[in-house]
Structure 1
């Protein structure tokens, strides 16, 4: 079952939406970059709160928007020899409907980006353990090296004698940026629990603010115009707000289908028309 839902077009995209509707078939369509985004959760009164970043106004994509940690894949994320525990790349490939190397790259990007952007590492010395405090100088140096691409994530794991814990991730959704946009992403959304002994921070140049957010409260702020949130983020926050418990919010969602909003003219103006799984 699917349902149609319309979202407001952000002011920064109004011109792109108009141009696309006026002659989209003649416009150059940007290829979407493969990406991953992770909803990092911790429990508060048996309910999930989620770690979010507000992107700096100078960002070329989603400026000033509240987002989950995430970003694009690195070619080295598809490296063959990666220390790994949990569901294998083959299993992720089946679950996501992607080639094995692509599915692996997305899962690694999810874990790597969470570490780069907020200092949380979903890895451990063994398949049933998770590394503890990762706030020291050496860890900060590793984060910086990942960001400037002088260190591959697989190399970090091998040097630290850790394994990536893919079982700590649960797949939630798959969104593709509308074809009208000049910068596009093909993004897979995951959820993960904040590991015991670790802290999330905002030590990234891409954000000017970070908070542990009550999903329902941020949705109210977005509806009141106090916060800027993109459609895929709105839907993920709604799912978190509807969770009956913290444990249920960590469960993967079956039957994930790709979602790609498209501009559509209505009597009230242009909207982003979206087909969602019901």
Structure 2
């Protein structure tokens, strides 16, 4: 942290990324979110419970793409991004969710959604996306599928603190679990997956039982206040960029959270 103390620190560039909070209604009221625990060998946030997601692939913005729902321009307005970047973010959100959970927010038409992604043929497609032997657009075209951007809603925007060596500029989306599909732990980057009650997850983080990053715990704390997935999807959102900062306090380096998110995070 010497560079932070003397003002010579140069932050690493933040990579654009997307993450999706896949939700389902909980019997008796409230919602549940599908979460993955990152394996301990990961360079970024090992052992953390996270939502599916990842970096934008340069090919996410290439070629023609079957698209239903809000256009890239509308997503760009929501996330303060160019239409090109917005298109890449939506594609990354849908692609990464399929790669990590086998949940696919796409269908044969703009009014339908794939009802099952189990089977060897789907697994072959998922692996081709993972090893980048297939582009996302190519995958959809071969399957005759349309990306359902209308199944997503913008939720938040977080940037990894400048003091971190690996940084992401991440847009958060929310989506309902499609009927007929099944979320599965198919990611090699995770060792456990579960549907979780947002309030329970926050409580486990505060008790030191679970490791949650600040954006994750803030998102879960917000979602704990909704009675149904439909309520979440209908909630008006003004997307504000959150970027925790590093500061020297009494000679020591600390991470300072945005004021409107800090009260969600465990204190200690």
Q: TM-score w.r.t. structure 2 length?
A: 0.92
Q: What displacement does 1:46 show?
A: 2.7
Question: Which residue is 2:62 aligned to?
Answer: 79
Matches of 1:100 and 1:169 in 2, distance apart? 16
Give ranges in structure 2 of 5+ residues lacking alignment. 262-268
Q: Does 1:215 align with 2:198?
A: yes
Choose which of 174, 180, 184 in structure 1 pairs with 2:167.
184
Q: Does 1:114 align with 2:90?
A: no
Give ranges in structure 1 of 5+ residues lacking alignment. 1-17
Q: What displacement does 1:114 show?
A: 0.3
Matches of 1:269 and 1:227 in 2, distance apart? 25
Per mean C-alpha deviation after superposition, the further-off stretch among 62-71 and 87-96 is 87-96
Choose which of 8, 16, 21 in structure 2 pairs with 1:39.
21
Task: Report the 3-state secondary structure (helix = DSSP H, G, I; strand = E; otherwise coil) of the residue aligned with 1:29.
Answer: coil
Task: Report the 3-state secondary structure (helix = DSSP H, G, I; strand = E; otherwise coil) of the residue aligned with 2:172.
Answer: strand
Choose which of 17, 39, 44 in structure 2 pairs with 1:56.
39
Please say if residues 127 and 163 of structure 1, whose CA atoms lie closer than 8 Å, have aligned partners that are also in contact: yes
CA separation of 1:231/1:268 partners in 2, compared to 1, >3 Å: closer, same or farther? farther
Question: Which residue is 1:90 aligned to?
Answer: 73
CA separation of 1:238/1:19 partners in 2, compared to 1, >3 Å: closer, same or farther? farther
Question: Which residue is 1:132 aligned to?
Answer: 115
Choose which of 226, 235, 238 in structure 2 pairs with 1:255.
238
Q: What displacement does 1:265 show?
A: 4.0
Question: Which residue is 1:27 aligned to?
Answer: 9
Matches of 1:29 and 1:200 in 2, distance apart? 36
Matches of 1:115 and 1:87 in 2, distance apart? 20
Matches of 1:271 and 1:43 in 2, distance apart? 38
Q: Does 1:65 align with 2:48?
A: yes
Task: Report the 3-state secondary structure (helix = DSSP H, G, I; strand = E; otherwise coil) of the residue aligned with 2:258.
Answer: strand
Answer 1 or 2: higher relative contact order, Cα 8 Å, separation at least 6. Answer: 1
Please say if residues 79 and 171 of structure 2, whose CA atoms lie closer than 8 Å, have aligned partners that are also in contact: no
Q: What displacement does 1:277 show?
A: 5.4
